Amino acid sequence: EPEVTQTPSHQVTQMGQEVILRCVPISNHLYFYWYRQILGQKVEFLVSFYNNEISEKSEIFDDQFSVERPDGSNFTLKIRSTKLEDSAMYFCASSEGAGPVYEQYFGPGTRLTVT
Amino acid sequence: AQSVTQLGSHVSVSEGALVLLRCNYSSSVPPYLFWYVQYPNQGLQLLLKYTSAATLVKGINGFEAEFKKSETSFHLTKPSAHMSDAAEYFCAVSDNTDKLIFGTGTRLQVFP
Model pLDDT for residues B51-108, shown as the tens digit of each residue = 877 889 999 999 999 999 999 999 999 999 999 999 999 999 987 788 899 999 999 9
* Residue pair B61/B46 in contact by the 8 Å Cβ criterion: no
Supply the pLDDT for residue A56.
Answer: 93
Q: Report the residue of A43, A56, A102 to disrupt the B interface, i.e. the one with the largest count of B CBs within 10 Å.
A: A43
Q: Residue B62, Cβ neighbours under 10 Å: how many?
A: 14
pLDDT at residue B52, rounded to an integer: 78
Residue A63: is its pLDDT beyond 90? yes
Q: Which residue has the higher pLDDT, B23 or A42?
A: B23
Q: Rounded CA gap, B59 and B30, in Å? A: 21
Three-state SS at A84? helix
Alpha-helical segments (H) within B1-112 = none
Would you state the pLDDT for residue B78?
A: 98
Averaged pLDDT for residues B15-29: 93
B40/A contact by beta carbon, under 8 A: no
- Cα atoms found within 13 Å of the Cα of residue B48, Cβ hemisphere only: 22
